[in-house]
Amino acid sequence: MAQKDIGNKKPLHELKTTNEVMHYYDEWSKNNKYNKDMNDWDYSGPKETVKVLAKHQKNKKANIYDAGCGSGLVGVELKKIGFSNFDGADISKKLLNQVPNGLYNELNHSDLNKKILKNDNFYDVVMCVGTFTFAHVKAHAIDEFVRITKINGLICFTINEAIYIDHGFKSKIDNLINDNKIKEIEFFKSNYLASKDVNAWLGLYKVL
């Protein structure tokens, strides 16, 4: 997100370490400020991404992993349209504490830049919304998403437009496509956080 997003905080693009990111979101979660801001700013990423997923995944009992779930905004949208079987993980314990009770089957406090503690070919879908941005989860995490997703399963994520090329996301995706690990199903510019002039690419891929 851009510097103007949070007037009282260091801008995201100046964060350097995982601990800085964790503390940033822990602080943002106080007094439910994160959820209030997302609502006030008309953050469309979760709703838009779930809508795209639903076009291609018709099984509402599909086993879904929400990587970087935060306070559960994607989970809320999944539940609204009938999905019922999803796990979540995030770096911020305080945001995880704000996830509505019973929304996810399982919640884990995890650094997604490290190996995900799930078996190969475990999930039908991996979603990652709002997490591929400055100082957050790096492009190599997509390899883990592919690993834990079943053959013919789906991975669906947003990538902040400003880091898509320079931070290696385009080359990572291109390499996976060229190696026949994934196939592009949809890729387009998301509305994401238009009220703050923060743009993102939204991609949905089938795992081969």
59-113 per-position pLDDT tens digit: 999 999 999 999 999 999 999 999 999 999 999 898 999 999 999 999 999 999 9
Domain with 190, as residue range(s), is 3-207
Cα 171 to Cα 27: distance, rounded to the nearest angstrom: 33
pLDDT at 139: 97
Sheet with 86-90: list strands edge to edge: 106-109, 86-90, 64-67, 123-132, 149-160, 198-207, 182-193
Q: Considering the entire predicted model, what is its pTM?
A: 0.87
Count of domains observed in the chain:
1
Q: Give the dihedral of Cα atoms 51, 59, 100, 159; nearest 10 deg.
A: -40
| Residue 37 belongs to domain with CATH number | 3.40.50.150
